[in-house]
Amino acid sequence: MKNWPYPRVAAHRGGGTLAPENTLAGLCVGAGFGHTMVEFDARLSADNVAFLLHDDTLERTSTGRGAAAQLRYAQIAGFDAGSWCDARFEGEHMPTLAEAAQCCRDEGLAANVEIKPCPGREAETGRIVGGETARLWRPSGQGGAAQPLLSSFSFEALAAARDAAPDLPRGLLVEHVPDDWREQTAALGCVSLHASHRHLDEALVCRIKEAGLFILAYTVNDPDRARLLVSWGVDTVCTDRIDLIGPHALDG
C-alpha cells in the first residue's frame, strides 16, 4: 500500500461518546457528523458468529451478563445495547459484522475492523473475522471506498487474519510501541502501526514513518493534540469526540 487511502480522522467505535459504541446507531451517528471512517470491534459468539462488542463480557454496554463467547448469537442479539448510553437508543442491539458492513456501505464509511479475540480463541477469531471481512467487503472497497483495515492487539489473531484475507491491509495495535515493532509488523505484513497517542513523540513517529509504515493514533480527544500529532506525521487519529474533531478538522 503505497498511499494511505483513509481520512485524517476516524470515529472511535462508531459514534465515539455520542452514541452507544459498536452499534448501527453509533455508525450512523459518526456518519451524521460527516465522518467517512469508523473503527469498531469484532469478536465471536459461541456459535462463531462475528459481531460487534469491545469487552469480553456483556455487562458494561448491554443488558446481558457474562462472557459473550459462551452465548450463541441469537441470545446476544436479544440484549439491549443502547439504553445504557441514552434512553433514545433503547432497543439497539449488538450487530453482526455483516450488518455493520451493510451499514458502512449505506453510509459511505470506510472501516477499521479491530479483531477482539477472547483468551484462547486468538487464531480462530482472526481467521473468521478476517475471512468474513474480505467476503463482506468484496469486491475491494465499496463504490470506490477504501478497503477495510484490519487491526488487533493480538499477534496471533492478526497472523490468522493475514492468512485468511491476505489482500486486506493490516495494522498492528499496541499501547506502547515495543522495541521489536519493526520485526512484528514485517512478520505480519502490516501497512500500519496503531499506537496510543500518549506514548508517541515526534522522534518515534519519524522512525516509524521512515520504516515505511503509516500511523494511526488512538484515542485522541483534544483538537490541539490531534493537530500536533498530524504535524509529526501521524496519518489518522481515532477520536471519541467526533463533534470536537470533525472530519476535516485536520486537513490541509
Catalytic residues: 12, 54
Cα–Cα distance measured from residue 104 to residue 110, given in angstroms and rounded to the nearest whole number:
7
Closest CA to 195 of 242, 151, 247: 151
In the numeric block, the cell 476516524 is attached to 10
User: How many degrees, rounded to 5, is the angle at CA 210 between CA 204 and CA 215?
Assistant: 60
Give the number of C-alpha atoms closer than 13 A to the C-alpha of residue 158, restricted to the C-beta side.
26
Peptide bond before 139: cis, by omega within 30 degrees of 0? yes
Closest CA to 21 of 46, 48, 49, 42: 42
Q: Which residues of 195-215 are buried (b: 16+ CB within 10 A; e: fewer)?
A: bebeebeeebbeebbeeebbb
Cα–Cα distance measured from residue 245 to residue 227, given in angstroms and rounded to the nearest whole number:
10
Cα–Cα distance measured from residue 29 to residue 57, given in angstroms and rounded to the nearest whole number:
24
